[in-house]
């Protein structure tokens, strides 16, 4: 705001710019101020007065006064004041209040803006008050403006700014963000190692001692190795180590109580609060693993794998199940062939010596292993390995009865197929690996012989054929026949080993060739010299006992060579054709062909090929008619078949036409009777179907629909029938038109019948029939008087005349002889 001038009247009660005794007079007229010093001191005892800046005339001399500039210092109000309220702060006055009536007011936050009514002013006297205790932590300062207006609301003075500062009091304790802090430090750390940081906040003014916090350690638990292992920076709250000797294996965790105090740590005037710091001592690998013994031992049966033969125990003081504790075992000597390995038990950290490669008692009766153990993590700096990290392990090998083995397995031999039964092929013998035991006896047996061609001598293993070997058998794969044999010793317990014999069968010419194909077709006449059948042969033998093949026609019958000829295409194929200018009737012809292979000596086979000779089109393909003719039917037979097909189709067509015509006539046919005489839809109602005189005793009312239930309820117990007509709309029956129905009369009857069957309102209705009366008396006598005895004078001989169906009764009741 622009520069303001405060007028200082000479009256005792109108001293300007005095606010709580802190006004600063900055005018250059120091002598006048000194001259009025005594009057100032007297006025200061009364409430301070703030005058609006302005100018006036001296009433005695008529001259304009010299302007003076004043600096209005802020108004300081202590927070948490106990009152009484309202409490006066200052008085505000205008030098024109002697001439006119002035009204004073204040505006700003705390006056007419939220929070409202913290400050108030007497509008007539200009006294400003604070109405309630102030809280610096809620609001530290207020900016108000003072106004002076006349009774009409016209501004008589320019507004002045008032600054009110709330003076801080030490009314807040330091507060830690957390009540418990967690930190960690490696064991063996040097003094001065940073551990963790704690901080506390004080809501008071941090520029004063009220908000300046200092830290200190109250206690440490446990006190090992000394009570003061840690210290804290009083200003920053950083905790560091102060002494060596941290050992996780002795003390794994420390609990420290930290105190924060304001007033710069003054315990007499400051407020305090505490928090807990938990310091965990983390593990380092400062303890090497130590085996519990310098020597270990174990046993292993020969030829066994994946079994644990020895267990190595170790001690490590570091944190369990951590890299500093996990043990790794190595075999550094005594096992050059790699028969053993040492696996670590993840739970106990023990070393399990395991066999990974079979051992042989005859080769090694014992193993002397040297084992070293270490941790997964490297040892900490300055920590040396222990002598107890190395140990010896003795593994003894136990001798067991090993199965015999075939030195050559599988064993390969070569033989020609076709060798007769009883031929000795080879001796397939096994050896006993148990050389250090007493001599054992080996017996041989056959384990698998798919074709059952072989036998083996039980004592010496000689293999002899029991049937002829055939290379073309389904049991032979790629010319090799495979059989498996068993060798068993007489040890305790007995052991057995298997051996495989593979026999390579050399082919001999024992299979004649077979003609391919066995059926074909050919045109009845030569066409462009391409008419013919390509033929070849198949031979189960292999080279050189298979192709090339020789194809030839037999000399008998003579018609074969007269009508047919064979020309060679290559070593495996030939062409069968009709001779030139030879015409054959369409049909199937069986042509014998002799096929010979290239074996030594060669084998021949007479095969027959069925050739269909048929008429062909211009492309040399058999026509449809020709194919039928070639199947063996003559021209007359073909024509007869076609005529029959035509007659059958004509009959079917005539039948369909007749059905259509009859349907049309039935639809257009009129009724031949007068509609009035048509009785097809007349319904005759018969109310009573009474019988003769013997039926008069029946109560016919039971069969009729009652009009009411009174006569039924009043009747004595007996048969009661209560029919209730359903209360639903009745079905609509078809109405016969006056004009005769053009359709079939049966349609109308069936339509009416369906309507009646589906009509729930038509009798008889669904009713509950109570049958509790069977009438009184009977014209028939009691059946209990019948006599079932076979004795008496009754004559049953007439049953014999009734035929064979009554023969059984005649035998039972007739006069036959007793048995």
- Each domain of the chain, given as residue ranges in start order, spans 75-167, 175-282, 290-398, 411-506, 514-614
Which DSSP string corresponds to 38-100? HHHHHHTTSPPEEEPP---B-TTT--BPPP-BEE-PPEEEETT----SSEEEEEEE-TTTTTS
Burial (0-12, 13-18, 19+ Cβ within 10 Å), 473: middle
Q: For Cα atoms 694, 695, 696, give the angle at the middle one, nearest 5 degrees.
A: 95
The percentage of residues in the chain with a pLDDT greater than 70, rounded to a whole number, is 74
Cβ atoms within 10 Å, residue 340:
23
- Cα torsion 249, 251, 253, 259 to 10°: value is -160
Question: How far is it, in rounded angstroms, from Cα 355 to Cα 304?
Answer: 7
- Would the CATH topology of 175-282 be identical to that of 411-506? yes
Buried b / exposed e across 596-630, counting CB within 10 Å, b at 16+? bbbbeeebebebebebbbbbbeeeeebeeebebbb
Least-confidence region, from 113-117, 288-292, 404-408, 748-752: 748-752
- The structure tokens 């200082």 sit at 8
Sheet holding 604-614, edge to edge: 519-523, 604-614, 587-596, 550-552
Whether the CB-CB separation of 87 and 130 falls below 8 Å is answered with yes
- What does the pLDDT look like over 311-331, one tens digit per residue? 999 999 999 999 999 999 999
Cβ atoms within 10 Å, residue 83:
10
Q: For Cα atoms 213, 217, 219, give the angle at the middle one, nearest 5 degrees.
A: 145
Class of the 290-398 domain? Answer: mainly beta
Strand pairing category for 253-261 and 214-221: antiparallel
The percentage of residues in the chain with a pLDDT greater than 90, rounded to a whole number, is 37
Task: Assess whether pLDDT exceeds 70 at residue 182.
Answer: yes
Class of the 411-506 domain? Answer: mainly beta
- What does the pLDDT look like over 226-252, one tens digit per residue? 999 999 999 999 999 999 999 999 999
The CATH number fitting domain 175-282, selected from 3.30.43.10, 2.60.40.60, 1.10.10.60, 3.90.320.10: 2.60.40.60
Least-confidence region, from 44-48, 198-202, 411-415: 44-48
What's the confidence (pLDDT) of residue 215? 96
- What does the pLDDT look like over 482-537, one tens digit per residue? 999 999 988 778 888 899 999 998 888 888 888 888 888 888 765 544 568 888 88
Sign (positive/negative) of CA torsion 145, 151, 152, 154?
negative
Q: Which residue(s) pair with 261 in the sheet?
A: 214, 272
Fold of 75-167: Immunoglobulin-like (2.60.40)
Q: Which long-range CB contacts under 8 A does 681-686 form with residues at least 24 apart?
A: 681/736, 681/748, 681/749, 681/752
**Homologous superfamily in CATH for domain 514-614:** Cadherins (2.60.40.60)
| DSSP state at residue 818 | P
What's the confidence (pLDDT) of residue 375? 92
Which DSSP string corresponds to 136-204? TTT--EEEEEEEEE-TTS-EEEEEEEEEEEEEP-S----EES-SEEEEEEETTPPTT-EEEE--EE--S
pTM, 2 dp: 0.47
């Amino acid at each position: 705001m622009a520069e303001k001038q405060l007028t200082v009247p000479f009256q005792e009660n109108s001293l300007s710019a005095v606010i709580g005794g802190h006004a600063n007079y900055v005018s250059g007229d120091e002598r006048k101020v000194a001259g009025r010093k005594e009057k100032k001191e007297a006025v200061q005892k009364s409430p301070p007065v703030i005058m609006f800046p302005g100018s006036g005339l001296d009433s005695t001399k008529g001259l304009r006064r010299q302007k003076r500039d004043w600096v209005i210092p802020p108004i300081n109000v202590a927070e948490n004041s106990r009152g009484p309220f309202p409490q006066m702060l200052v008085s505000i006055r205008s030098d024109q209040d002697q001439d006119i009536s002035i009204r004073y007011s204040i505006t700003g936050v705390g006056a007419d803006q939220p929070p409202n009514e913290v400050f108030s002013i007497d509008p007539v006297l200009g006294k400003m008050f604070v109405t309630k205790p102030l809280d610096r932590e809620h609001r530290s300062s207020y900016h108000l403006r003072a106004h002076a207006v006349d009774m009409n609301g016209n501004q008589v003075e320019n507004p002045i700014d008032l600054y009110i500062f709330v003076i801080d009091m030490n009314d807040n304790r330091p507060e830690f963000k957390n009540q418990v802090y967690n930190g960690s430090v490696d064991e063996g750390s040097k003094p001065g190692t940073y551990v963790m940081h704690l901080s506390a906040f004080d809501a008071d003014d941090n520029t004063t001692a009220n908000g300046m916090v200092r830290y200190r350690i109250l206690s440490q638990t446990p006190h090992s190795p000394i009570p003061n292992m840690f210290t804290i920076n009083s200003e920053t709250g950083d905790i560091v180590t102060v002494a060596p000797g941290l050992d996780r294996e002795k003390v794994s965790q420390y609990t420290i109580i930290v105190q924060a105090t304001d007033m710069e740590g003054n315990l007499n005037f400051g407020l305090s609060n505490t928090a807990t710091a938990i310091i965990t001592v983390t593990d380092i690998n400062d303890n090497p693993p130590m085996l519990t013994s310098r020597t270990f031992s174990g046993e292993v049966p020969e030829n066994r794998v994946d079994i644990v033969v020895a267990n190595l125990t170790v001690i490590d003081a570091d944190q369990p199940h951590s890299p500093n504790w996990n043990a790794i075992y190595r075999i550094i000597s005594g096992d050059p062939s790699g028969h053993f390995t040492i696996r670590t038990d993840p739970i106990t950290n023990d070393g399990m010596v395991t066999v990974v490669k079979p051992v042989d008692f005859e080769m090694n009766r014992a193993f002397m292993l040297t084992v070293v153990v270490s941790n997964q993590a490297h040892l900490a700096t300055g920590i040396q390995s222990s002598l107890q990290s190395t140990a010896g392990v003795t593994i003894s090998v136990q001798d067991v009865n090993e199965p015999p083995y075939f030195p050559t397995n599988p064993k390969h031999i070569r033989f020609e197929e076709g060798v007769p039964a009883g031929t000795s092929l080879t001796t397939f013998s096994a050896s006993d690996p148990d050389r250090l035991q007493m001599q054992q006896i080996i017996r041989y047996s056959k384990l698998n012989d798919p074709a059952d061609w072989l036998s083996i001598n039980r004592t010496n293993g000689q293999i002899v054929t029991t049937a002829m070997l055939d290379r073309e058998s389904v049991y032979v794969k790629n010319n090799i026949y495979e059989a498996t044999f068993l060798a068993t010793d007489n040890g305790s317990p007995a052991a057995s080993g298997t051996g495989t014999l593979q026999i390579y069968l050399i082919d001999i010419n024992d299979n004649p060739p077979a003609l391919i194909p066995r059926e074909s077709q050919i045109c009845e006449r030569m066409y462009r010299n391409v008419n013919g059948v390509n033929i070849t042969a198949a031979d189960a033998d292999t080279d050189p006992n298979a192709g090339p093949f020789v194809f030839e026609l037999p000399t008998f019958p003579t018609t074969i060579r007269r009508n047919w000829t064979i020309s060679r295409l290559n070593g495996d194929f030939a062409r069968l054709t009709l001779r030139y200018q030879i015409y054959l009737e369409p049909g199937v012809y069986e042509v014998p062909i002799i096929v010979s292979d290239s074996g030594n000596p060669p084998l021949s086979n007479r095969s027959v090929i069925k050739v269909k000779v048929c008429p062909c089109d211009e492309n040399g393909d058999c026509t449809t008619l020709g194919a039928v003719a070639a199947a063996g039917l003559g021209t007359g037979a073909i024509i007869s078949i076609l005529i029959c097909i035509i007659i059958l189709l004509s009959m079917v067509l005539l039948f369909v036409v007749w059905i259509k015509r009859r349907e049309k006539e039935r639809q257009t046919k009129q009724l031949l009777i007068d509609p009035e005489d048509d009785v097809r839809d007349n319904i005759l109602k018969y109310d009573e179907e009474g019988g003769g005189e013997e039926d008069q005793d029946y109560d016919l009312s039971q069969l009729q629909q009652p009009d009411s239930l009174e006569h039924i309820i009043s009747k004595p117990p007996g048969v009661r029938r209560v029919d209730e007509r359903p209360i639903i709309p009745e079905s609509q029956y078809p109405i016969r038109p006056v004009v005769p129905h053009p359709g079939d009369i049966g349609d109308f009857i069936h339509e009416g019948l369906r309507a009646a069957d589906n009509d729930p309102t038509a009798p008889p209705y669904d009713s509950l029939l109570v049958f509790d009366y069977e009438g009184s008396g009977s014209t028939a006598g009691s059946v209990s008087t019948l006599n079932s005895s076979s004795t008496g004078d009754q004559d049953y001989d007439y049953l014999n005349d009734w035929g064979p169906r009554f023969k059984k009764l005649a035998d039972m009741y007739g006069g036959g002889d007793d048995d």
